[in-house]
Amino acid sequence: MNTSNTTSLEYLQGQIERITYTNEENGYTVAKVKVRGRRDLVTVVGSIASPLAGQVLKMKGEWSNHPKFGEQFKAVFCECAVPATSAGIQRYLGSGLIKGIGPVMAKKIVSLFGDKTLDIIEHETDRLTEVDGIGQKRIEKIKKAWEEQKEIREVMLFLQGHGVSSTYASKIFKTYGKDSIKVVQDNPYRLATDIFGIGFITADNIAQKLGFSLESEFRIQAGILYVLHQLSDEGHVYYPRQDLARKAAEILKVDAELVDQQIDSLETLQYIVMESLPQQEQKAVYLAKYFYSETSIAAKLKKLIKAPKSIRQVDTDKALDWVQKTYGLNLAEKQAEAVRKALLDKILVITGGPGTGKSFLLNAILKIVSRLKVKILLAAPTGRAAKRMQESTGYEAKTIHRLLEFDFQKGGFKKNDEHPLNCDLLIVDEMSMVDTVLMHHLLKAVRMDTTLIMVGDVNQLPSVGPGNVLKDIINSGSVPVVELNEIFRQARESSIIVNAHMINQGRLPVLQPRQDKLDDFFFMQEEDPHKVLEKIKYIVMERIPQRFKLNPIDHVQVISPMNRGVVGVSNLNTELQACLNPQGQEIIRGGKTFRQGDKVMQIRNNYDKEVFNGDIGVITGLDLEEQEIKVRFYDRQVVYEYSDLDELVLAYAVSIHKSQGSDYPAVVIPLLTQHYIMLQKNLVYTGITRGKNLVVVIGTKKALAIAVKNAGTNERYTHLAGRLNHKIQEIT
């Protein structure tokens, strides 16, 4: 904390009773503090390093009166000390300080040793065997945790003196151990690349406090890589050199010439690859992994197209006749064309919107191919998509990550060009979600004689990760493509499907409910964001459960175009958690409250736990002693330590981007003009097609009209289509 100009400030000392809120990025904390001589708890706000219930705070600050929260003490200087009283020690130990001691065990220990407890743990740990329920095994765990805490505290004192929050300090210690301080002093910019959650901005703040120059080579190189990563988060596989230099110079506040020099240095260090592309005046700058991924995809597709297939040739007319007669199927013209191509061609793309019979078509292909006694594998990018694929085909389907089998020792996938997937036919669904890097790894594992069928809806949003793989493959003209565009009779009964296709055609959907039956698409006019929020809560909690008999946590998903704002994902989650899961055992980490029964989402790929970005689960248990949370994802239980919790967010509401590859019985979507920057046709189309049985849109017709008329998507810098065009010309 800033210690200047504190002579005129008031002094206050008290013990933390509970932490109401803490922001792990900047340490800002709201705490309830017991102050001697005051009957009520005092609300203290300010930056507090690693706050824990039970700690004693020695503060300087000033009193203020918040219009909503009342009297507060704003601390501008704060020092934490260990508690001296038995009650304080019990609260301190029970707040998650040491793995192995939770609230129940803390009470037992303090009941026996009183205010000598911390001395006993420090100097006579073996005496803890006197406590009922503590054996030698737990003592060893407590010893280890206590020693680790001492080492972490030393690192934390240094790091927090340079603006690093307690959670990040723990992650830094976990990564570098006793070398943490040396690593940070030598090159704090390593934190941005080595540790999830610490970005360039945080690393740069630390570096400035350590005296690094704004023109330091480390800083400029890290800044360029930061900008490239930010651009890849926007979907770009590469970025034009001069534009990149200009962006980086603005962020770094240095001369563009210095940035330009360090771009060359990064190429020498092999962090980036530069290439002159056709029709591009500027050189393309790739992060190395994206360059190798994109070029590898093009090269592998070229080889696959030329290689012979292991599935034997059959008479396609006889096969079509057999499958239709045997199973009573009636394939439309485009579907029949797709079946023929699937049997004749080495690679095939099948694309089409909802209700156009993609699943029906896949079943026909699978029935024919299975008669040929060949090995078939099915995959999709997400767990939900794989589960849906399995249910619709009757064949086992895996996520692409699980299909490729991650190797924890080597840090890569076990399935690759040396150990390919053992299959004659590989079908991948939801291809619009597959990004450049994942496609690279998938194709590496495809055997040369394997037939590859890619299925997806090219009109949906592109992948969250960089690239536009499905669209680029289609646009390249390099592989056969069948586009299904006929909506089948049964699908035409659904207003969701009819309206989705109208939106895709740039037409406003029908907003009046159909009178002839119970409709599945509803639009509610409302432009005030606060009223939209109240309607969402009412619909999710009461209207849908009452009318449609759906469980609001398991069956209803709120999806929003934006993360921020009153009806953005973040605030919606806070509000819906308070409504749907207001009580129960909880922990607060990084300003987020997690409770047993909460719906949560994983926000990064974690190969160790085998959970991936976008996976949704439910918290089934909180262990305060072991400092662990258990989450059930589909049919698997995954354990998270407290330090891993920045990988989880609440998922009562998710962004439309994150909802890709999933479908839900009921979907509720806020759509307002304040979402203007995100209002695009493919975004609304993707959102509406997430609903299986019910879609409710709450917002304004103007916002809907803006989205439907806005067909332009933010162009992504990729060169896959160009590389594939080049490859195909070589073949022919």
Contacts of 458-461 with CB under 8 Å at 24 or more apart are: 458/351, 458/432, 459/353, 459/504, 459/682, 459/685, 460/432, 460/660, 460/682, 460/685, 460/686, 460/689, 461/432, 461/656, 461/657, 461/660, 461/682, 461/683, 461/686
Distance in angstroms (rounded) separating the CA atoms of residues 620 and 547: 28
Residues paired with 640 in a beta bridge: 629
The pLDDT of residue 376:
96
Q: Assess contact for 252 and 223: CB atoms under 8 A.
A: yes
User: How many whole angstroms separate alpha carbon 14 and alpha carbon 39?
Assistant: 12
Judge whether 20 and 593 are in contact, CB under 8 Å. no
pLDDT digits (tens, 9 = 90+) for 234-248: 899 999 999 999 999
Q: How far apart are CA 507 and CA 503, in angstroms?
A: 5
Number of neighbouring beta carbons within 10 Å of residue 201 = 12
Contact 62, 68 (CB under 8 A): no
pLDDT of the residue at 675: 64
Please state the separation of Cα 338 from the chain's center in Å. 34
State the pLDDT at residue 3: 42
Asked if pLDDT for residue 662 goes beyond 50, the answer is yes
For the chain, the residue count is 732
Q: Please tell me the predicted confidence (pLDDT) of residue 727.
A: 44
How far apart CA 617 and CA 631 sit, in angstroms, is 6
The pair of three-digit structure tokens given for residue 462, joined into one six-digit string: 């592109």
Q: What is the spatial order of strands in the sheet that 556-560 belongs to?
A: 521-525, 691-699, 664-671, 556-560, 653-655
Q: What is the pLDDT of residue 730?
A: 41
Q: How far is CA 452 from CA 166, 352, 442, 480, 686, in A?
A: 48, 18, 11, 11, 25
Collect all residues with Cβ–Cβ distance below 8 Å to 302 and sequence separation of at least 6. 727, 728, 730, 731
Position 190 pLDDT exceeds 80: yes
pLDDT, average across residues 504-513: 84
Average pLDDT over residues 493-500: 88
The pLDDT of residue 517 is above 80: no
* 258 confidence band (pLDDT: 50, 70, 90): very high
* CATH 3.40.50.300 segments of the chain: 307-486, 493-587+651-709
| Long-range contacts of residues 260-269, Cβ cutoff 8 Å, at least 24 apart | 262/217, 262/220, 262/221, 262/224, 263/224, 265/217, 265/221, 266/221, 266/224, 266/225, 269/221
pLDDT value for 603: 87
- Bridging pattern class, strands 10-22 and 56-66: antiparallel
Mean pLDDT of 687-710: 91
CA dist 599 and 584 (Å) reads: 14
Q: Shortest CA distance to 455 belongs to which of 430, 480, 483?
A: 430
Angular region, 382: left φ>0, alpha ψ -120 to 50, beta rest? beta
- In contact, 257 and 248? CB cutoff 8 Å: no
Position 423 pLDDT exceeds 50: yes
> CA-CA distance, 490 to 498, in Å (whole number)?
11
Highest mean pLDDT among 91-105, 208-222, 227-241: 227-241
Angle, vertex CA 560, rays to CA 555 and CA 565, nearest 5 = 130
Residue 497 has pLDDT above 50, yes or no: yes
The mean-pLDDT minimum among 517-526, 619-628, 675-684, 713-722 falls in 675-684
Say which residue the tokens 């790091």 belong to: 159
Q: What is the pLDDT of residue 246?
A: 94
Specify the higher pLDDT residue, 658 or 472. 472
Of 66, 69, 44, give the one whose Cα is nearest residue 55: 44
pLDDT at 5 over 60: no
Q: For position 4, what pLDDT does the model report? A: 42
* This prediction's pTM: 0.79
Mean of pLDDT values over 599-606 = 89
pLDDT bucket at 488, cuts 50 / 70 / 90 = confident
Report whether 458 contacts 433 (CB < 8 A).
Answer: no
How much is the average pLDDT of 611-633? 88
Buried b (16+ CB within 10 A) or exposed e, 57-81: bebbbeeeeeeeeeebbebbbbeee
569 vs 459: CA distance, rounded Å:
23
* Domain 217-295 belongs in CATH node 1.10.10.10: yes
What's the pLDDT score for residue 37?
84
The residue-averaged pLDDT of 500-505 equals 89
Checking if the pLDDT of 334 tops 60, the result is yes
Phi, psi angles (nearest 5°) of residue 465: -80, 175
> Which residues are CB-contacts of 202 (< 8 A; sequence separation ≥ 6)?
25, 163, 164, 168, 191, 192
Cα–Cα distance, 401 to 149 (Å, whole number): 36
What is the spatial distance between Cα 505 and Cα 164, in angstroms, rounded to a whole number? 50
**pLDDT, tens digit (0-9, with 9 covering 90-100), for 85-99:** 788 788 778 766 677
State the pLDDT at residue 157: 67
Answer whether residue 669 shows pLDDT above 90: yes
Q: Quote the tokens at residue 454.
A: 């890619």
* 528, HSE (Cβ side, Cα atoms, 13 Å): 4
Q: Is the pLDDT of residue 561 over 60?
A: yes
pLDDT at 729 over 50: no
Judged by average pLDDT, the poorest of 148-157, 441-450, 585-594, 710-719 is 148-157
Where in the chain do CATH 2.40.50.140 domains reside?
A: 10-81
What is the tens place of the pLDDT at every residue in 270-297? 999 999 998 888 999 999 999 999 999 9
Fold of 10-81: OB fold (Dihydrolipoamide Acetyltransferase, E2P) (2.40.50)
- For residue 28, give both structure tokens: 């800002």
Token pair of 580 as six digits: 């749907």
Mean per-residue pLDDT, 259-270: 94
Half-sphere exposure of residue 463: CA atoms within 13 angstroms, side-chain side: 29
* Residue scoring higher pLDDT (540 or 603): 540
**CATH classification code of 307-486:** 3.40.50.300
Q: Name which of 640, 648, 570, 652 is nearest 604 in CA terms.
A: 648
* Residue 516 pLDDT: 56
- To the nearest whole percent, how much of the chain has pLDDT over 70? 92
pLDDT in tens, 348-392: 999 998 888 888 899 999 999 999 989 999 999 988 888 889 999
Residue 6 reports pLDDT greater than 70: no
Mean pLDDT (the chain) is: 87
* Apex 174 CA angle, 169 and 178, nearest 5: 85
> For 289-298, 424-433, 657-666, which range has the lowest pLDDT when averaged over its residues?
657-666
The DSSP secondary-structure symbol of 618 reads E
CA distance from start to end of the chain: 68
Please, which residues bridge with residue 45 across strands? Answer: 30, 74
Question: Residue 676 has what pLDDT?
Answer: 65
Per-residue b/e over 113-127, b at no fewer than 16 CB within 10 Å?
beeebbebbeeeeee
Ranges of beta strands (E only) in 553-645 are 556-560, 586-589, 592-595, 599-602, 616-623, 628-633, 636-641
How far is the C-alpha of 519 from the C-alpha of 503, rounded, in Å?
Answer: 18
Average of pLDDT values for 477-491?
A: 85
DSSP 676: G
Which residue pairs from 60-63 have beta carbons closer than 8 angstroms and sit at least 24 positions apart in sequence? 60/6, 60/9, 60/10, 60/11, 60/12, 61/9, 61/10, 61/12, 62/9, 62/10, 63/10
Give the pLDDT of residue 731: 37
| pLDDT of residue 195 exceeding 50 | yes
Answer yes or no: is pLDDT of 713 > 70: no
| Contact call for residues 379 and 429 (beta carbons, < 8 A) | yes
Pick 352 or 143 by higher pLDDT: 352
- Residue with more model confidence, 295 or 680: 295
Among 143, 141, 97, residue whose Cα is nearest residue 106: 97
Q: Give the per-residue pLDDT at 153.
A: 66
What pLDDT is attached to residue 165?
60
Superfamily for 493-587+651-709?
Answer: P-loop containing nucleotide triphosphate hydrolases (3.40.50.300)
100 — pLDDT class (breaks 50, 70, 90)? confident
The reported pLDDT for the residue numbered 9 is 82
Q: What is the pLDDT of residue 406?
A: 83
For 157, half-sphere exposure in the C-beta direction (CA atoms, 13 angstrom radius) is: 8
- DSSP, res 95: I
φ/ψ of 22, rounded to 5, equals -145, 135
